[in-house]
Amino acid sequence: MTAPSISVSETPLVLYTLRRADDALILGHRLSEWCGHAPMLEEDMALSNMALDLLGQARTFYTYAAAVEGNGNDEDKLAYLRDVRQYRNLLLAELPNGDFAHTMVRQFFYSAFADLYWRAMMTSSDATLAAIAAKSEKESAYHLRHSSEWIVRLGDGTEESHVRAQRAIDDLWAFTGEMFAVDDSERGLIEAGIAADPAALRPAWLGTITAVASEATLVLPGNDWMQQGGRSGRHSEHLGHLLSELQSMQRTFPGATW
């Protein structure tokens, strides 16, 4: 009755592209969960806009991954018919929304990285990836600006908002290291000029994060033990629940369109 999962031949370029697609889809899905639930109507729209930006990025990356793989898969199959262990997103992206401060800190950490990363990827020797990066960079730049403004207002706001923002930073910190990690598969693409080296971006990322946190009277944790696993399919218990909702329609009615 339910549609079976597809198999994907993960050459380094396919794997690389899927990782970016999965980051965008999963984080975008999380943001979309706020639709109708945000603290105010204006922010409901802002979160949905960011969700749609990320969904758009995911679609272009999935389409490119399918083209590179050349096995008859497409964006829908890659999104709807892969199992949890086949997903390659950052753990940071799949963590539940928590409260508004938690969602904003997660967005802030990711966008501060994504903005630098897409800017670096605009010089990729792969023309398609460079073009997707150029489009994504403008979107991430706004996500960074919007989330930064909220971090400052939450951190330097009321006693309650400060406590919640600081708690979110403390809880999410250990999930930031995965953004800068590189495995052998990706190392080859970096050496070939196709992928940017995320590790080289960490000082600039830390500079942005530190400046905003300081203005927000928030403190960045000193510990540097980092949680990893999402890039190789070892996910938290949360992703399965997210996918069961995201995929339920295509799994139950394979190929359904409307």
Partner 1 sequence: MATPNTPLWEVFIRSRNGLAHRHCGSLHASDATMALQAARDIYTRRGEGLSIWVVPSGAITASDPAEKGMMFEPAESKIYRHPTFYEVPEEVGHM
Q: Interface with partner 1 by CB under 8 A: which range of 61-69, 141-149, 204-212, 230-238?
A: 141-149
C-alpha distances in Å from residue 22, one per residue of 79, 100, 150, 166, 253:
8, 23, 25, 28, 22
**CA distance linking residue 204 with residue 159, whole number of Å:** 30
What's the sign of the alpha-carbon dihedral 147, 152, 153, 158? positive
- Contact status: 1 vs partner 1 (CB under 8 A): no
Q: Which of 257, 252, 250 is nearest to 77 (CA)?
A: 250
Smaller CB distance to partner 1: residue 1 or 40?
Answer: 40
Give yes or no for a contact between 184 and 10, defined as CB atoms under 8 angstroms apart. Answer: no
- Contact status: 46 vs partner 1 (CB under 8 A): yes
Q: How far is CA 159 from the centre of its chain?
A: 30
- Nearest distance from residue 104's CB to partner 1, in Å? 13
- Nearest distance from residue 239's CB to partner 1, in Å? 28
Site for partner 1 in 181-240 (CB under 8 A): none
Tokens 């139950």 -> residue:
252
**CA distance linking residue 167 with residue 162, whole number of Å:** 8
Q: Interface with partner 1 by CB under 8 A: which range of 12-20, 36-44, 58-66, 185-193?
A: 36-44
Give yes or no for a contact between 239 and 25, defined as CB atoms under 8 angstroms apart. Answer: no
Smaller CB distance to partner 1: residue 105 or 195?
Answer: 105
Residue of 40, 159, 184, 257 interacting with partner 1 (CB under 8 A) = 40
- Contact status: 159 vs partner 1 (CB under 8 A): no
How big is the site for partner 1, counted in residues (CB under 8 A)?
12
- Nearest distance from residue 43's CB to partner 1, in Å? 8
- Contact status: 153 vs partner 1 (CB under 8 A): yes
- Contact status: 59 vs partner 1 (CB under 8 A): no
Contacts (Cβ under 8 Å, ≥6 apart) of 191: none
- Contact status: 41 vs partner 1 (CB under 8 A): yes
Q: By CB under 8 A, name the binding residues for partner 1.
A: 40-43, 45-46, 49, 142, 145-146, 149, 153
